[in-house]
Amino acid sequence: MPVDLQALYPRLIHLMLDTVFVVDRDNQIVFVSDACEALLGYRACELIGTPITDYMHPDDLVITRASILRVMNGQSHYDFRNRYIRKDGGIVHILWAACWSDEADARIGVARDVTAQHQAEEELRFLAHHDPLTRLANRAMFNERLDTALAAARHHNQPLALLFIDINDFKDINDNHGHSMGDRVLCTLARRLEGCVGATDTVARMGGDEFTVLLTDYVSPEAIAEQLARILAAMAEPLGAEFAGIDAPSCSIGVARFPDDGNDADMLLRHADGDMYRIKRQRAAAG
Protein backbone atom coordinates (compact mmCIF):
# COMPACT_ATOMS: atom_id res chain seq x y z
CA MET A 1 0.00 0.00 0.00
CA PRO A 2 1.58 3.33 -1.04
CA VAL A 3 2.34 5.85 1.67
CA ASP A 4 0.37 9.08 1.54
CA LEU A 5 3.23 11.55 1.93
CA GLN A 6 0.95 14.57 1.71
CA ALA A 7 -0.86 13.39 4.83
CA LEU A 8 2.47 12.79 6.60
CA TYR A 9 4.02 16.21 5.93
CA PRO A 10 2.34 18.08 8.83
CA ARG A 11 3.37 15.38 11.29
CA LEU A 12 6.91 15.30 9.91
CA ILE A 13 7.24 19.08 10.23
CA HIS A 14 6.16 18.99 13.87
CA LEU A 15 8.61 16.15 14.58
CA MET A 16 11.57 18.24 13.38
CA LEU A 17 14.05 19.33 16.06
CA ASP A 18 14.56 22.58 14.14
CA THR A 19 11.71 25.10 14.05
CA VAL A 20 9.80 25.85 10.84
CA PHE A 21 8.35 29.36 10.42
CA VAL A 22 6.07 30.67 7.69
CA VAL A 23 5.88 34.47 7.63
CA ASP A 24 3.74 36.62 5.32
CA ARG A 25 4.67 39.82 3.48
CA ASP A 26 3.79 41.91 6.53
CA ASN A 27 6.17 39.92 8.77
CA GLN A 28 3.22 38.23 10.52
CA ILE A 29 3.80 34.64 11.62
CA VAL A 30 1.19 32.46 9.93
CA PHE A 31 2.63 29.07 10.89
CA VAL A 32 5.27 27.76 13.27
CA SER A 33 6.11 24.18 14.14
CA ASP A 34 5.92 22.72 17.64
CA ALA A 35 9.69 22.99 18.14
CA CYS A 36 9.23 26.74 18.67
CA GLU A 37 8.47 26.13 22.34
CA ALA A 38 11.93 24.65 22.93
CA LEU A 39 13.53 27.39 20.83
CA LEU A 40 11.78 30.53 22.13
CA GLY A 41 9.65 29.35 25.03
CA TYR A 42 6.38 30.24 23.28
CA ARG A 43 3.70 27.81 22.15
CA ALA A 44 2.74 28.02 18.50
CA CYS A 45 -0.65 29.55 19.35
CA GLU A 46 1.13 32.45 21.11
CA LEU A 47 3.22 33.29 18.05
CA ILE A 48 0.76 32.95 15.18
CA GLY A 49 -0.61 36.32 14.10
CA THR A 50 2.21 38.33 15.73
CA PRO A 51 5.12 40.09 13.96
CA ILE A 52 8.24 37.94 13.94
CA THR A 53 10.29 41.11 14.42
CA ASP A 54 8.82 41.41 17.94
CA TYR A 55 11.05 38.54 19.06
CA MET A 56 14.30 39.60 17.41
CA HIS A 57 17.16 41.03 19.42
CA PRO A 58 16.97 44.80 18.81
CA ASP A 59 20.67 44.99 17.95
CA ASP A 60 20.12 42.53 15.08
CA LEU A 61 17.07 44.17 13.51
CA VAL A 62 18.98 46.06 10.81
CA ILE A 63 20.92 43.07 9.47
CA THR A 64 17.82 40.87 9.78
CA ARG A 65 15.68 43.28 7.76
CA ALA A 66 18.35 43.20 5.05
CA SER A 67 18.15 39.38 5.00
CA ILE A 68 14.34 39.50 4.87
CA LEU A 69 14.47 41.83 1.87
CA ARG A 70 16.94 39.52 0.16
CA VAL A 71 14.66 36.50 0.66
CA MET A 72 11.55 38.40 -0.46
CA ASN A 73 13.42 39.30 -3.65
CA GLY A 74 13.83 35.63 -4.39
CA GLN A 75 17.37 35.06 -3.08
CA SER A 76 17.43 32.16 -0.65
CA HIS A 77 19.55 32.63 2.46
CA TYR A 78 20.97 29.45 4.00
CA ASP A 79 23.59 30.67 6.47
CA PHE A 80 22.15 33.71 8.22
CA ARG A 81 22.65 34.13 11.98
CA ASN A 82 20.90 36.41 14.41
CA ARG A 83 19.62 36.52 17.97
CA TYR A 84 16.11 36.24 19.36
CA ILE A 85 14.73 37.00 22.82
CA ARG A 86 13.12 34.03 24.55
CA LYS A 87 9.91 34.30 26.55
CA ASP A 88 11.98 34.01 29.75
CA GLY A 89 14.22 36.90 28.64
CA GLY A 90 17.17 34.77 27.62
CA ILE A 91 18.99 35.21 24.33
CA VAL A 92 19.12 32.44 21.73
CA HIS A 93 21.49 32.42 18.74
CA ILE A 94 19.79 31.11 15.61
CA LEU A 95 21.08 29.80 12.28
CA TRP A 96 18.50 30.28 9.50
CA ALA A 97 17.77 28.73 6.15
CA ALA A 98 15.06 30.75 4.39
CA CYS A 99 13.45 31.07 0.99
CA TRP A 100 10.44 32.74 -0.63
CA SER A 101 7.42 30.70 -1.73
CA ASP A 102 5.35 32.21 -4.53
CA GLU A 103 2.70 29.56 -3.96
CA ALA A 104 2.23 30.57 -0.31
CA ASP A 105 3.09 34.24 -0.91
CA ALA A 106 5.25 33.97 2.19
CA ARG A 107 8.78 33.22 3.24
CA ILE A 108 9.63 29.90 4.79
CA GLY A 109 12.41 29.67 7.32
CA VAL A 110 13.97 26.84 9.28
CA ALA A 111 15.58 27.95 12.55
CA ARG A 112 18.29 26.02 14.38
CA ASP A 113 19.44 26.84 17.91
CA VAL A 114 23.22 27.34 17.73
CA THR A 115 23.62 29.01 21.13
CA ALA A 116 25.89 26.26 22.46
CA GLN A 117 28.02 26.38 19.31
CA HIS A 118 28.25 30.18 19.56
CA GLN A 119 29.35 29.98 23.18
CA ALA A 120 31.98 27.38 22.31
CA GLU A 121 33.30 29.59 19.49
CA GLU A 122 33.43 32.58 21.85
CA GLU A 123 35.33 30.53 24.41
CA LEU A 124 37.86 29.42 21.79
CA ARG A 125 38.36 33.03 20.71
CA PHE A 126 38.80 34.04 24.34
CA LEU A 127 41.30 31.27 25.06
CA ALA A 128 43.38 32.28 22.05
CA HIS A 129 44.35 35.40 24.00
CA HIS A 130 43.75 34.47 27.64
CA ASP A 131 45.11 32.09 30.24
CA PRO A 132 42.54 29.32 30.81
CA LEU A 133 43.14 29.15 34.58
CA THR A 134 43.25 32.79 35.70
CA ARG A 135 41.39 34.30 32.70
CA LEU A 136 44.10 36.95 32.50
CA ALA A 137 45.73 37.93 29.23
CA ASN A 138 48.17 35.27 28.06
CA ARG A 139 51.69 35.76 26.73
CA ALA A 140 50.48 36.28 23.14
CA MET A 141 48.02 39.02 24.06
CA PHE A 142 50.51 40.68 26.39
CA ASN A 143 53.13 40.82 23.66
CA GLU A 144 50.59 42.32 21.23
CA ARG A 145 49.59 45.00 23.73
CA LEU A 146 53.20 45.72 24.62
CA ASP A 147 54.07 46.24 20.95
CA THR A 148 51.06 48.55 20.52
CA ALA A 149 51.88 50.50 23.66
CA LEU A 150 55.52 50.89 22.61
CA ALA A 151 54.50 52.23 19.21
CA ALA A 152 52.23 54.80 20.89
CA ALA A 153 54.92 55.72 23.43
CA ARG A 154 57.46 56.34 20.67
CA HIS A 155 54.96 58.36 18.63
CA HIS A 156 53.98 60.59 21.56
CA ASN A 157 57.40 60.55 23.23
CA GLN A 158 55.92 59.18 26.45
CA PRO A 159 57.27 56.68 28.98
CA LEU A 160 55.72 53.39 30.03
CA ALA A 161 56.60 50.76 32.59
CA LEU A 162 56.68 46.98 32.60
CA LEU A 163 56.53 44.87 35.77
CA PHE A 164 57.64 41.24 36.00
CA ILE A 165 56.17 39.48 39.05
CA ASP A 166 57.17 36.14 40.53
CA ILE A 167 55.36 34.52 43.46
CA ASN A 168 57.96 33.57 46.04
CA ASP A 169 58.06 29.95 47.28
CA PHE A 170 54.91 29.08 45.35
CA LYS A 171 56.22 25.55 44.84
CA ASP A 172 55.78 24.96 48.57
CA ILE A 173 52.03 25.59 48.26
CA ASN A 174 51.73 23.02 45.48
CA ASP A 175 53.91 20.52 47.32
CA ASN A 176 52.22 20.88 50.71
CA HIS A 177 48.60 21.57 49.74
CA GLY A 178 48.22 20.16 46.23
CA HIS A 179 48.01 21.70 42.78
CA SER A 180 44.27 22.30 43.02
CA MET A 181 44.80 24.55 46.02
CA GLY A 182 47.75 26.16 44.25
CA ASP A 183 45.51 26.97 41.29
CA ARG A 184 42.98 28.60 43.61
CA VAL A 185 45.73 30.73 45.14
CA LEU A 186 46.91 31.79 41.68
CA CYS A 187 43.38 32.82 40.69
CA THR A 188 43.01 34.86 43.89
CA LEU A 189 46.31 36.62 43.29
CA ALA A 190 45.32 37.26 39.66
CA ARG A 191 42.14 39.05 40.79
CA ARG A 192 44.17 41.12 43.25
CA LEU A 193 46.56 42.17 40.51
CA GLU A 194 43.66 43.18 38.29
CA GLY A 195 42.25 45.27 41.12
CA CYS A 196 45.50 47.21 41.43
CA VAL A 197 45.74 48.51 37.87
CA GLY A 198 43.82 50.96 35.73
CA ALA A 199 41.52 50.27 32.80
CA THR A 200 44.27 50.97 30.25
CA ASP A 201 46.82 48.67 31.94
CA THR A 202 47.27 44.97 31.20
CA VAL A 203 47.86 42.09 33.61
CA ALA A 204 49.02 38.81 32.09
CA ARG A 205 50.02 35.37 33.27
CA MET A 206 53.20 34.41 31.50
CA GLY A 207 53.16 30.85 32.82
CA GLY A 208 53.54 29.05 36.14
CA ASP A 209 53.60 31.61 38.94
CA GLU A 210 54.92 34.49 36.82
CA PHE A 211 52.87 37.53 35.86
CA THR A 212 53.53 40.73 33.96
CA VAL A 213 51.87 44.12 34.22
CA LEU A 214 51.99 46.77 31.52
CA LEU A 215 51.57 50.28 32.92
CA THR A 216 50.85 53.03 30.39
CA ASP A 217 49.72 55.92 32.60
CA TYR A 218 52.65 56.08 35.03
CA VAL A 219 54.99 58.85 33.94
CA SER A 220 57.28 59.21 36.94
CA PRO A 221 59.43 56.88 39.08
CA GLU A 222 57.40 58.05 42.09
CA ALA A 223 54.12 56.93 40.47
CA ILE A 224 55.63 53.55 39.63
CA ALA A 225 56.92 53.17 43.20
CA GLU A 226 53.44 53.91 44.52
CA GLN A 227 52.00 51.27 42.23
CA LEU A 228 54.58 48.72 43.36
CA ALA A 229 53.69 49.42 47.00
CA ARG A 230 49.98 49.03 46.17
CA ILE A 231 50.58 45.66 44.50
CA LEU A 232 52.82 44.36 47.29
CA ALA A 233 50.23 45.36 49.90
CA ALA A 234 47.38 43.74 48.00
CA MET A 235 49.27 40.51 47.43
CA ALA A 236 50.25 40.30 51.13
CA GLU A 237 46.66 40.43 52.41
CA PRO A 238 45.49 37.22 54.14
CA LEU A 239 44.02 34.67 51.76
CA GLY A 240 41.00 33.84 53.90
CA ALA A 241 39.61 30.88 55.80
CA GLU A 242 38.78 28.92 52.64
CA PHE A 243 42.51 28.49 52.03
CA ALA A 244 43.00 26.32 55.12
CA GLY A 245 45.47 28.58 56.85
CA ILE A 246 47.82 29.09 53.91
CA ASP A 247 49.75 32.31 54.34
CA ALA A 248 49.64 34.74 51.45
CA PRO A 249 52.90 34.28 49.54
CA SER A 250 55.16 37.26 49.02
CA CYS A 251 56.24 38.28 45.55
CA SER A 252 59.29 39.72 43.82
CA ILE A 253 58.72 42.46 41.28
CA GLY A 254 61.16 43.58 38.62
CA VAL A 255 60.68 46.87 36.79
CA ALA A 256 61.63 48.06 33.31
CA ARG A 257 60.94 51.56 32.04
CA PHE A 258 60.75 52.75 28.47
CA PRO A 259 62.95 54.27 27.15
CA ASP A 260 65.45 54.19 30.04
CA ASP A 261 65.76 50.39 30.27
CA GLY A 262 65.16 49.42 26.66
CA ASN A 263 63.75 50.53 23.30
CA ASP A 264 61.92 47.36 22.33
CA ALA A 265 59.78 44.65 23.89
CA ASP A 266 62.56 42.04 24.18
CA MET A 267 64.92 44.44 25.92
CA LEU A 268 62.24 45.58 28.37
CA LEU A 269 61.15 42.02 29.20
CA ARG A 270 64.74 40.90 29.73
CA HIS A 271 65.45 43.90 31.94
CA ALA A 272 62.30 43.40 34.06
CA ASP A 273 63.01 39.67 34.35
CA GLY A 274 66.60 40.32 35.38
CA ASP A 275 65.51 42.94 37.90
CA MET A 276 63.00 40.48 39.38
CA TYR A 277 65.69 37.80 39.83
CA ARG A 278 68.02 40.36 41.40
CA ILE A 279 65.34 41.10 44.00
CA LYS A 280 64.78 37.36 44.61
CA ARG A 281 68.51 36.89 45.19
CA GLN A 282 68.53 39.79 47.65
CA ARG A 283 65.59 38.24 49.48
CA ALA A 284 67.34 34.84 49.64
CA ALA A 285 70.55 36.44 50.90
CA ALA A 286 68.64 38.29 53.61
CA GLY A 287 67.38 34.93 54.80
Q: Where are the beta strands (DSSP E) in the chain?
A: 19-24, 29-32, 77-85, 91-101, 106-113, 160-167, 202-207, 210-215, 251-258
**146 closest CA partner among 204, 199, 226, 221:** 204
Q: In what order do the strands lie in the sheet with 251-258?
A: 202-207, 210-215, 160-167, 251-258
Closest among 276, 131, 149, 141 to 189, alpha carbons compared: 131
* Catalytic-labelled residue, pool 131, 166, 201, 209: 209
Q: Who's near 85: CB < 8 A, 6+ residues apart? A: 55, 56, 57, 91, 92
Q: How far apart are CA 83 and CA 64, in angstroms?
A: 9
What's the gap between Cα 43 and its chain centre?
Answer: 33
Residue 4 annotated among the catalytic residues of the structure:
no
Amino acid identity of residue 282, one-letter, is: Q
d(CA 174, CA 189) in angstroms, rounded, equals: 15
Q: Which residues are catalytic?
A: 209
